[in-house]
Structure 1
């Protein structure tokens, strides 16, 4: 029973694009994934895909991945961008963003990605770093558009470093 004289517990910042519940899968407790969104950039379009957290995004389903690029000669480039959100005195903001390249050949049901790089870049995003060195101007524009449209206030509160990277 709630005591009306007790202070109410402050709500935890929730990034609903992933989940409003703390991550409880393998490795829970070692890193907090509840404030991370998964953005896919495919053919010049950026969109949020929660399934990417467990390699089950729309473009990854049914694809057999190899760490060898030569196995995917007809693959189209695509990226997962791990986007972390944090809060400061100004409010919530995009605190980290790191992109990971993939090749996807939907017809052949083959793909290329380097899983350790995905893990390392996810970790970098969680540690409030921006690593967007492997995406081009069209992908940067698509990511910026998505971040602004998703929450303009978060975008406005974000550091100039991120805005400059996506300019």
Structure 2
């Protein structure tokens, strides 16, 4: 078989001339629009979750936060001990889930998680378990925004409205009340 013919959809062969079996690889599908029931079923679909960072009163979308690589988290060594970051500034990761119903798309869940960041010392504090749990709560259509200050709630509301006013209009009153300042 010529090289050209091998590249024409033929399965590679092993040394015995038998077709090679492709190994199923275990992967964490964090962003997927496919629905599947085979190998890897049960992975979490995060395609409808956005990551918002609130830092110094400014809210912005940062997709890197999904993997703890947001702008504020890069090059920071995190600890679970707050005392390790005495000069840290308070930043928030807000997980925002979007869903769709007969009225259209809307902000279906939103949860906030605190972090302390000391950029000069390259140190930070966060509780990873809280971030994971709050991500789960957002996916399950809950709103956990009580700990945000008035300034932070205002920044988040402004971002959500500016990002998509129609989604904001279709969102439940629970979100609007939680961010009504």
TM-score (norm 2): 0.77
Q: Does 1:22 align with 2:35?
A: no
3-state SS of 1:135 partner: coil
3-state SS of 2:166 partner: helix
Write out per-residue CA displacement over residues 69-127 of structure 1, whole angstroms, 9 at most, x where no aligned residue: 00000000000000000001100000000000000000000000000000000000000
Structure 1 residues not aligned, in runs of 5+: 1-20
- The answer to whether the 8 A contact 1:23-1:33 is kept is no
TM-score (norm 1): 0.84
- Runs of 4+ with >4 A deviation: none
Larger relative contact order (CA 8 Å, sep ≥ 6): 1
Q: Which has the larger radius of gyration?
A: 2
Q: What is aligned with 1:18?
A: none
Distance 2:60 2:41 in 1: 26
Task: Return closer, same or farther for 1:32/1:147 CA change in 2, 3 Å cut-off.
Answer: same
Distance 2:41 2:120 in 1: 36
The CA deviation at 1:32 is 1.3
Distance 1:96 1:104 in 2: 25
Aligned-CA RMSD value: 1.5
- In the alignment of these two chains, the number of paired residues is 145
Q: Please show how residues 54-133 of structure 1 align to structure 2 within 5 Å.
A: 54-133=67-146
The CA deviation at 1:47 is 0.1
Q: Does 1:48 align with 2:61?
A: yes
Q: What is aligned with 1:6?
A: none
Task: Return closer, same or farther for 1:28/1:39 CA change in 2, 3 Å cut-off.
Answer: farther
The CA deviation at 1:31 is 1.8
3-state SS of 1:139 partner: helix
Distance 1:70 1:124 in 2: 28
